Structure 1
Amino acid sequence: MAGHEVIMKPFSDVHRLGNKVVATLLHDPTVEGLDVALYMDGSASMEDEYGPRGILAKLAPVKNLVEPQMRWMLEYLANKDRDGKVRVAYWATGDGSQLEEVGELTGPQAKDFRFPGPRAYGKATVMLPVLRDFVAHMKQQVQVGARRGLAVIITDSQISDAPNVTAYATQVAKEIASGRLPRMNFVFVGVGEQVDEEQMEEISHETYPGVGHLWCHRIADRMEEMAELVAVLVDETMTVAAGGTVYDEQGNTLKAYEGRLPAVLEFDVPATCKAFTLEVAGQRFTQPIPEEHEEDEDHHEEERAPEPEPVSAPAARKKHRGHGH
């Protein structure tokens, strides 16, 4: 390929072979501009999961079931985030309505970051402050390039303010539909027997005009299953908007993808076509088509990199309860 030919993001390689174009994606464009936050339950019911602290911690080895799951989730989520940093906070702390911010963590930081639990375990499980915090965070991040938001919320008990959560989510959906807020999704994961599954379903099954579902939820039986389940739900949530369409310069459809985009796109173009546009998740990426060279025709099979295996989370176990919405 000639040196003057420019390959635009999110593509890493583009070849023209007669009337066929082969375009390799550098990364998944459905998460372009995605800003991610992780909110971990800090209510009193979680105290045993974090393990003893202070003098009690010195009497026996501490078994913190939350920490390894948090590390795994953060490494996974940081790879989805636009700048590789995930906003992390404990919620339902103090009187139950307080948030304790941990910080903006990267994947490498997560490998050995300590998650001992909040300073003050909460007396209730009030979720509305989580939604308000994330909306305020997204309003700030939009100013510096964020185009979409994803909040992962973990709990092990019944929500204390479900009607307020539903009412606020309705307002958020109106703001999204009107263009005043970017697209947002909330991944809601319950852990253990104290979770109110019916309550989670009522929140998550709500649909909003012009937006559809904001929520997806599921329940893990044990803390050790939490990270895997979060990864599955995030993958499913991102896939919802993952279909894409390729257009020529006149806006004619060259190819439509209804499922997750493959790593290598192949489509036919008119002989006079000089550029194509990929539209995915409301974003458009225009790429000039390089001129065809003889060596491309002769050797493109050996030059083309093998299609990478799609990176996805492990399949959810059947015993996980709940639904995608």
Structure 2
Amino acid sequence: METMTALAVLRRHAQHSSAALALNRDTRHFTVSGLDGFIAYRPAGRRHAVQLGSVYADPEDRKRLLGAFHGWAQQEGRRLCAVQLTPDDLDLYTEFGYQLSQLGAAYSIDLEAFTLRGRRFEKVRNKLARSRRAGVTVVEAGRDVPYDAALAARLDALDARWLADKGRHVKQIEFLVGERAGHEDRVRRLFLAMYDGEPVAYVSYSPAFGQEGGWLYDITRREPDAPPGAVDLAFVVALQRFQAEGVRWLHLGLTPFRELSARHEPAGGGHRGTNRLIGFIAEHGDWIYPARSQAEFKEKWQPRVTPEYVGFYPSVSLRTVWRLLRLTRAV
């Protein structure tokens, strides 16, 4: 399915705050003739497939679409894993026999009520002021400055330096995050922190749809020697622009292995083995996924927290978990 066609389906049917991840280049779209909708997925090896997010279709068609996806997987001899399921998805996936567990939490900011005033944001305001005093300014690519080949090349070089600074064994997380591609057609939005005429950090946003539509905070990159607070300043300038545009929700996306709680377990409880594995990674697994640093940035904005889930069909296996980790490039 072409990107703009998939985007139109999401605008009609998506309620998931991270649905725009279905627009990533290598993500495939499973469709059924006569049904207005799709399932976003990627093959993982020869015997697995990983679905991302909800079934994006009219509520009356979701069961049929998911059933057809299962039929395809059976013909292909593939086991299924579904990630970033929402609480509203659980009944459907339970009906299909998935083994479900909480994967982590998604964070969202209600921009209608958000303000930086007050003592709780005093440290943030000081950080922003320090960045501005250092000479950092923020512009939006494609609106304040052109998004052209020259800028894209400069940001590619920034990405490479950012990744190199993480260490030679660190890989860029994929699949559960978006992409910088697409800003030239304004599907996504990109805010640049500029210093001495050069971009030293950027924050990317993807559209969010449905009843809590708005924007999804997606990708953050910074030069290793960028002035302190450059990312925070780009984030706040974007947030304030969204507020001025009348946007209600700024979603911060899923952080796996955070806010794990028995009160968030699916009806009947989560899968015991998967719960133990996710709990172990939450406590010891920063080398697998940078959940702690992600959460620290998101939590300082005092967001709303919503649990998200992972499901396995027909059962959990170590090979399926391994394929999921490989797909995200966590290992």
> What TM-score comes out, normalization by structure 1 length?
0.27
- Structure number with greater CO (CA < 8 Å, separation at least 6) is 2
> Which of the two has greater helix per residue?
2
- TM-score, with normalisation over the residues of structure 2? 0.27
